[in-house]
Amino acid sequence: MNSEITLLAFAAASIAFVHTILGPDHYLPFVAMAKAREWGLKKTLRITMICGVGHLAGSIVLGVLGITLGIQLSSLEWLEGIRGNFAAWLLIGFGLAYTAWGIRQAFRNRPHSHWHSHGGTMHEHVHSHHQDHAHVHEKSSGKRSLTPWVVFVIFVLGPCEPLIPLLMYPAARENLTGVLVVTSVFGLITVLTMTIVVALALRGLESFKLKRFEPYAHALAGSAILACGIAVVFLGL
């Protein structure tokens, strides 16, 4: 491996780390959904890794096709921009829909009271039917949630903007082995950073008492996803 490829590999690692950390859409949706849907740490990290690989796959395939077919870099950058905007608006749409559904769930989950009489003594019983049975139904019904698949599709459509112009095309000027090395380093660091940030965030949230916010967990998760989409579209994160 020559010095140019070595430098590109180090650049790939640095760019992947910074790009992931500065893009909250790479980790915040997973943290929010994990807390709202009570995913375990292993399940959350598994979903994060799968979505991360899907996120990389689209740009890698496009970059390989561009290099193989000799497509101009400007054309690929234009296509990546279209993909990025489309994925960001999908994220906004999903965030809005999930927020609306979460507000509906919170409204249905409001505690209400019943008066009971036992031996002439009246007492009030406060409870929530939906909260008492929601998790039981979810676990016992055998049905799998579509939410991880929706997030996966959005991530597959979303491009890794720096990968093709800053790394794959410069590496292709050296040799195909360089493309493989640079792409592998970028992908590994991206997915690793995503999973580490998600794991640290979930561990950190365990120390906070969020009991009173539980009825609004889905609405808050949807709002977090919506905020990520807005940040991508309007702030370019």
How do the domains of the chain map onto residue ranges?
26-108+129-134+154-204
DSSP assignment of 132-160: HHHHHHHHHS-PPPSHHHHHHHHHHHS--
Higher pLDDT, 51 or 143: 51
pLDDT of residue 13: 95
Sign of CA dihedral 185, 190, 196, 199: negative
Q: Which two tokens stand for residue 216?
A: 């609004």
Q: If you average pLDDT over residues 170-199, what whole number do you get?
A: 91
**Cβ neighbours of residue 117 under 8 Å, at least 6 residues apart?**
none
Q: If you average pLDDT over residues 178-200, what whole number do you get?
A: 94
Which of the four pLDDT bands, split at 50, 70 and 90, describes residue 127?
very low
In the block, tokens 């195909």 appear at 176
pLDDT of residue 122: 52
Per-residue pLDDT tens over the stretch 63-87:
888 888 888 888 888 888 898 889 8
* CA Rg value for the chain: 23
- In terms of phi and psi (left: phi > 0; alpha: psi -120 to 50; beta: otherwise), the region of 70 is left
Q: If you average pLDDT over residues 152-162, what whole number do you get?
A: 85
Cβ atoms of 183 and 66 within 8 Å: the answer is no
Query: Is the pLDDT confidence value at 191 over 90?
Result: yes
Query: Is the pLDDT confidence value at 142 over 50?
Result: no
Q: If you average pLDDT over residues 54-67, what whole number do you get?
A: 89
Which of the four pLDDT bands, split at 50, 70 and 90, describes residue 34?
very high
pLDDT of residue 128: 52
pLDDT of residue 131: 46
